């Protein structure tokens, strides 16, 4: 059984009033009044002996411990079992509400680059509980880029992008930095090489030219893969139909299983690329062969120039979506070429490009372009055709970038954590925070994402005001084009007066409710001279038995006040006094509390017996630290 927050405070308050024995009587005898009041179910249960239960009940009520008693009974506080006042619960009962702590991947095995889904539960609910995924064997005080805060959630799910092949461990930590690097829970999973990678490794050997045809004397690039790795594997180019033991130009790959090699140009004709293993043991057994053509030199007339077309398969793409380019009506020259550039780029400039390799039509896919407006351009027969654009069309890539703060508002000088995702992956993507309404080319505090597409960054605190987080791609090329923006507020520190009327605000259900953001607060008793509505309150309509100094009254003015944050907090009285002014001169010392999250705090004076007799109230100055 776990300790319930609030039980210890209620027990201490009852103890200070010397009422523990009466609490014991009510609990051990399971008094019927606890059922009648709705503290326990069913309503017809319990002991009804008035000689036992009634004196204990009345003593607690007269000591103003109704709420503490209600809390302890309704929350079935663990102390009742430790004291032996109630029988211990069964194992199944004791485990209610005590979820086991776990953090593990949804699967024990993932394939390469498959998203990793982490499920966690049983966490305490601190805003800075956190989880990390690291390679097995990583020290507990080390973590990499794959981590996240639970943000106060006790359970949930988080997805990491795919990881390289290997053995990994999920680790859960509590309440950074107080919890340090103490691992509270851990589990393992593995990432295996993907089926596609395994298939690729098992493919048969290949050796082929990059183009289907070449001009006479044009350099010929051969791409090869799947070789044995012997230092004497070798590749040659020979005329088509030549015997397998024929060789002309040739080279050793020097133990490489894949790569490229450039041969000198050939005269017009039909040719074959051939690959052999492990000379001389491998002899002239051809392991791979492919054909290509060296065509006759053509005239300078651009045949087919009348109707070339080129365009992206879609007019709009999302960030990191492959860009498919379709082209047709080209000359068929090996050095016809296509480029993709940002709109407005001069015609004699290029970025991402490819040769058509003698094809008059076809498809080509570009990967990982940043968000923006683009133009795809087609050129003929480099270098003869120069930078004359033969055909062009436009498309755009929309950004799914996001850069947001973790909270809707901050207090002055509080550190500001920005979470970002969907960035382009450029080393010079960058994020800044500026005053709301500032020009897009304005920046203050800023940082480079250094190639990370997602992550967090902590900015120094700012003065009160309205601000905007802005994300940009790929400086300097991306300029000041804002890819994402979001707004937030740095608010003034809270300083508010709470006035509690002793006739109306007499229990938690009738309390003054003050919404407050998460933070640390101090509560100070004030009077009318400091802007409050009250100086003190009296639970009767008269004073009685005061000493000569006006203090130590049996009935008189005081400041005893209850606060629920939702934890229970009490401003204790320093005594009862003859006048509100005298009570204020002897006001209690300040109390403080902490809110872990935005909350509605309740303020009241507890009196459910005859509140109509009450006088005055309590005024409190609540200040955020």
Query: Positive or negative CA dihedral for 420, 426, 428, 434?
Result: negative
Q: Is residue 300 part of a domain?
A: no
Distance (Å, whole) CA 52 – CA 46: 12
Retrieve residue 102's tokens: 């776990």
| 505 and 611 co-located in one domain | yes
Retrieve residue 77's tokens: 């506080």
Q: Read off the pLDDT of each residue in 157-164 and give the average, rounded to a whole number.
A: 87
| 421 and 479 co-located in one domain | yes
Q: Is residue 2 part of a domain?
A: no
Task: Give the residue from 287, 262, 258 showing the smallest Cα distance to 274.
Answer: 287
| 271 and 372 co-located in one domain | no
Lowest-confidence pick of 165-169, 248-252, 581-585: 165-169
CATH number for 150: 2.60.40.1930
Looking at 422-492, which runs of residues are DSSP E strands? Answer: 430-435, 445-448, 455-459, 465-472, 482-490
Q: Is residue 603 part of a domain?
A: yes
| 480 and 510 co-located in one domain | no
Retrieve residue 162's tokens: 């795919």
3-state DSSP assignment of residue 550: coil
| 513 and 619 co-located in one domain | yes
Q: Is residue 257 part of a domain?
A: yes
Cα angle 252, 257, 262 (rounded to 5 degrees) comes to 50
Q: Is the pLDDT of residue 44 over 80?
A: no
Q: Any alpha helices (H) in 75-177, and if so which ranges? A: 79-82, 91-94
Q: Is the pLDDT of residue 483 over 60?
A: yes
Percent of the chain with pLDDT over 70: 92
| 386 and 321 co-located in one domain | yes
The pLDDT value given to residue 49: 78
CA–chain centroid gap for 103, Å, is 16
Q: Is residue 551 part of a domain?
A: yes
Max mean pLDDT among 37-41, 502-506, 594-598 falls in: 502-506
CATH number for 545: 2.60.120
Structural domain of 246: 203-294
Higher pLDDT, 285 or 113: 285
Q: Is the pLDDT of residue 521 over 90?
A: yes
Distance (Å, whole) CA 484 – CA 333: 43
Retrieve residue 181's tokens: 């690097």
Retrieve residue 471's tokens: 């994300």
| 507 and 602 co-located in one domain | yes
Kindly report the number of other CB atoms within 10 A of residue 600's CB atom: 12
Percent of the chain with pLDDT over 90: 52
Q: What does the CA dihedral 337, 343, 345, 349 come to, rounded to 10 degrees?
A: -10
| 90 and 186 co-located in one domain | no
Name the band, by pLDDT with cuts 50, 70 and 90, for residue 42.
Answer: low
| 528 and 601 co-located in one domain | yes
| 269 and 327 co-located in one domain | no
Name the band, by pLDDT with cuts 50, 70 and 90, for residue 5.
Answer: low
| 231 and 182 co-located in one domain | no
Q: Is residue 299 part of a domain?
A: no
Kindly report the number of other CB atoms within 10 A of residue 118's CB atom: 22
Q: Read off the pLDDT of each residue in 424-431 and give the average, rounded to a whole number.
A: 89
Q: Is residue 302 part of a domain?
A: no
| 423 and 393 co-located in one domain | no
Domain end call among 398, 418, 450: 398
Q: Read off the pLDDT of each residue in 375-383 and give the average, rounded to a whole number.
A: 93
Beta carbons of 139 and 183 less than 8 angstroms apart: no
Domain end call among 197, 226, 254: 197
Domain end call among 458, 490, 522: 490
Beta carbons of 336 and 378 less than 8 angstroms apart: yes
3-state DSSP assignment of residue 377: strand
Q: Is the pLDDT of residue 8 over 90?
A: no
Report pLDDT digits (tens) over 49-106. Answer: 778 888 988 898 889 898 888 888 877 787 877 777 876 543 333 333 334 789 999 9
Q: Read off the pLDDT of each residue in 161-168 and give the average, rounded to a whole number.
A: 80
Mean pLDDT (the chain) is 87
Task: Give the residue from 34, 155, 31, 182 showing the smallest Cα distance to 99.
Answer: 155
Count structural domains, the chain.
6
Q: Is residue 316 part of a domain?
A: yes
Report pLDDT digits (tens) over 243-300. Answer: 999 998 999 998 888 999 999 989 989 999 999 987 876 778 888 999 999 887 654 4
Name the band, by pLDDT with cuts 50, 70 and 90, for residue 121.
Answer: very high
């Amino acid at each position: 059984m776990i300790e319930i927050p609030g039980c210890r405070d209620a027990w201490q308050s009852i103890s200070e009033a010397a009422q523990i024995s009466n609490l014991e009587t009510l609990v051990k005898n399971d008094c019927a009044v606890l059922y009648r009041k709705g503290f326990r179910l069913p309503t017809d249960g319990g002991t009804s002996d008035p000689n036992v239960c009634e004196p204990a009940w009345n003593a607690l009520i007269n000591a103003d411990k109704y709420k503490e008693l209600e809390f302890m009974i309704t929350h079935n506080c663990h102390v009742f079992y430790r004291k032996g006042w109630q029988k211990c619960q069964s194992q199944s009962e004791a485990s209610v509400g005590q979820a086991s702590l776990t953090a593990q991947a949804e699967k024990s095995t993932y394939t390469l680059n498959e998203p990793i889904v982490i499920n966690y539960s049983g966490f305490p609910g601190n805003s800075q509980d956190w989880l990390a995924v690291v390679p097995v064997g990583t020290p507990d005080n080390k973590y990499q880029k794959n981590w996240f805060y639970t943000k106060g959630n006790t359970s949930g799910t988080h997805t990491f992008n795919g990881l390289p092949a290997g053995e990994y461990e999920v680790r859960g930590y509590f309440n950074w930095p107080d919890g340090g690097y103490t691992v509270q829970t851990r589990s393992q999973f593995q990432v295996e090489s993907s089926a596609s990678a395994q298939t690729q490794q098992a493919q048969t050997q290949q050796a082929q030219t990059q183009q289907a045809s070449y001009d006479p004397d044009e350099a010929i690039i051969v791409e090869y893969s799947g070789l044995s790795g012997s230092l004497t594997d070798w590749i040659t180019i020979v005329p088509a139909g030549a015997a397998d033991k024929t060789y002309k130009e040739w080279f050793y790959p020097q133990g490489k299983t894949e790569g490229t090699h450039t041969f000198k140009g050939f005269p017009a004709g039909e040719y074959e690329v051939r690959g052999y293993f492990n000379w001389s043991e491998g002899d002239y057994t051809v392991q791979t062969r492919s054909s290509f053509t060296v065509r006759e030199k053509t005239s300078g007339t651009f045949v087919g120039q009348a109707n070339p077309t080129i365009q992206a398969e879609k007019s709009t793409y999302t960030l990191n979506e492959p860009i498919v380019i379709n082209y047709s009506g080209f000359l068929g020259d090996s050095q016809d070429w296509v480029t993709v550039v940002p709109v407005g780029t001069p015609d004699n400039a290029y970025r991402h490009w490819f040769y058509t390799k003698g094809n008059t039509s076809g498809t080509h896919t570009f990967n990982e372009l940043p968000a923006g407006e683009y133009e795809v351009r087609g050129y003929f027969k480099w270098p003869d055709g120069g930078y004359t654009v033969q055909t062009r069309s436009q498309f755009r890539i929309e950004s799914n970038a996001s850069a947001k703060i973790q909270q809707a508002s901050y207090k002055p000088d509080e550190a500001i954590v920005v979470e970002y995702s969907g960035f382009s992956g450029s080393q010079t993507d960058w994020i800044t925070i500026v005053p709301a309404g500032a020009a897009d080319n304005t920046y203050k505090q800023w940082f480079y994402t250094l190639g990370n597409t997602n992550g967090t960054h902590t900015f120094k605190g700012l003065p009160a005001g309205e601000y905007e987080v802005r994300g940009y791609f790929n400086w300097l090329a991306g300029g000041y084009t804002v890819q994402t923006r979001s707004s937030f507020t740095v608010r003034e520190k809270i300083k508010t007066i709470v006035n509690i009327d002793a006739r109306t605000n007499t229990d938690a259900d009738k309390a003054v409710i003050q919404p407050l953001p998460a933070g640390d607060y101090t509560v100070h008793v004030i009077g009318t001279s400091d802007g409050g509505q009250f100086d003190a309150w009296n639970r009767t309509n008269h004073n009685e038995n005061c000493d000569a100094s006006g203090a130590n009254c049996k009935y008189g003015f005081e400041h005893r006040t209850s606060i629920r944050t939702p934890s229970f907090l009490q401003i204790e009285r320093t005594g009862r006094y003859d006048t509100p002014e005298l009570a204020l001169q002897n006001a209690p010392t300040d109390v403080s509390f902490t809110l872990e999250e935005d909350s509605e705090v309740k303020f009241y004076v507890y009196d459910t017996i005859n509140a109509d007799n009450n006088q005055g109230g309590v005024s409190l100055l609540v200040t955020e630290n």
